[in-house]
Chains A and B, each alone.
Chain A
Amino acid sequence: MQKENFSYDNRIVKNFAIATAVWGIVGMTVGVLIASQLFEPMFNLGNQYTSFGRIRPLHTNAVIFAFVGNAIFMGVYYSLQRLLKTRMFSDTLSKIHFWGWQLIIVAAAITLPLGITTSKEYAELEWPIDIAITLIWVVFGWNMFGTILKRREKHLYVAIWFYIATFITVALLHVVNSFELPVSFLKSYSWYAGVQDALVQWWYGHNAVAFFLTTPFLGLMYYYMPKLANRPIYSYRLSILHFWSLIFLYIWAGPHHLLYSSLPDWAQTLGVIFSIMLIAPSWGGMLNGLLTLRGAWDKVRDDARLKFMVVGITAYGMATFEGPMLSLKSVNAIAHFTDWIVAHVHVGALGWNGFLTFAMLYYIIPKIYNTKIYSKKMVNTHFWIGTLGILLYALPMYVSGFQQGMMWKQFNEVGQLAYPNFLDTTQQILSNHMWRALSGVLYLSGVIIMAVNLVKTAKQGSLVANEEDSAYPMSTEEEHGGHWHRWIERRPVQLLVFSLIVVIIGGAVEFAPSFLVKSNVETIPSIKPYSPLELEGRDIYIREGCNNCHTQMIRPFRSETVRYGDYSKSGEYVYDHPFLWGSKRTGPDLGRGGYVGENAKIYKPANWHFQHMFDPRTTSPGSIMPAYPWLITQDLDQSKTVRKLEAMQTLGVPYDEKDIANANRDLNKQALEIYNELKEQKTVQAIVLENEIEFDENKEIIALIAYLHKLGRDIEVQPKEIAKQP
Chain B
Amino acid sequence: MNKIIGFVEGADVYLVTSLLIFLLVFVVVSVQMFLMKKDTSDKMSMLPFHNSNSDNNEN
Contact = CB atoms under 8 A, between A and B. Distances in A.
Interface in A152-208: 153, 155, 157-159
A505 interface: yes
B33 A485 contact: yes
B14 to A, nearest CB: 4
Contacts of B49: 226-227, 232
Contact of B44 (A85, A236, A245): A236
A470 B30 CA distance: 36
B26 A244 contact: yes
Nearest to A367: B55
A157 B47 contact: yes
For chain A, which range describes its interface: under 10, 10 to 19, 20 to 34, or 35 or more residues?
35 or more
B11 to A, nearest CB: 4
Contact of A266 (B7, B51, B55): B7
Interface in B16-47: 18, 21-22, 25-26, 28-30, 32-36, 40-47
Nearest to A268: B4
A619 B10 CA distance: 52
A214 B10 CA distance: 33
Interface in A496-510: 502, 505-506, 508-509
Contact of A226 (B9, B48, B59): B48
Interface residues of B, number: 41
Given A236-B41, A305-B59, A484 B21 contact: no
A679 interface: no
A469 B52 contact: yes
Interface string A465-479: 001111100000000
A233 interface: yes
A505 B21 contact: yes
B51 A85 contact: yes
A470 B14 contact: no
B47 A303 contact: no
B18 A509 contact: yes
B57 A513 contact: no
B53 A266 contact: no
A162 to B, nearest CB: 14
Contacts of A249: 22
A83 B48 contact: yes
A240 B29 contact: yes
Contacts of B14: 508-509, 512-513
A152 to B, nearest CB: 10
A266 B58 CA distance: 53
A517 B10 CA distance: 9
Contacts of A237: 33-34, 36, 41
Contact of A484 (B4, B22, B32): B32
B26, B41, B48: most-surrounded residue (chain A CB, <10 A): B48
A122 interface: no
Contacts of B22: 248-249, 505
Interface string A326-367: 000000000000000000000000000000000000110011
A471 B43 CA distance: 17
Contacts of B33: 237-238, 240-241, 485
Contacts of B28: 484
A508 B50 CA distance: 41
A412 interface: no
B56 to A, nearest CB: 7
B53 A85 contact: no
A482 B21 CA distance: 23
Contacts of B40: 482, 486
A153 B57 CA distance: 22
Nearest to A299: B57
Given A153-B47, A236-B44, A483 B36 contact: yes
B8 A155 contact: no
A223 interface: yes
A91 interface: no
Contact of B51 (A236, A265, A362, A469): A469
Contact of A517 (B8, B15, B57): B8
A155 B59 contact: no
User: Which A-B residue pairs are the 10 nearest by beta carbons?
Assistant: A266-B5, A232-B45, A236-B45, A157-B47, A513-B11, A509-B14, A230-B57, A237-B33, A236-B41, A483-B32
Interface of B: 4-5, 7-11, 14-15, 18, 21-22, 25-26, 28-30, 32-36, 40-53, 55-59
Given A232-B42, A232-B46, A509-B15, 13 more contacts: A3-B52, A85-B50, A227-B48, A227-B57, A232-B49, A236-B42, A264-B8, A266-B8, A270-B15, A468-B53, A482-B40, A484-B28, A517-B8
18 contacts: A82-B48, A85-B51, A158-B44, A226-B48, A232-B42, A235-B41, A236-B44, A244-B26, A269-B4, A270-B5, A270-B15, A376-B59, A469-B51, A471-B52, A484-B28, A502-B25, A509-B18, A517-B8
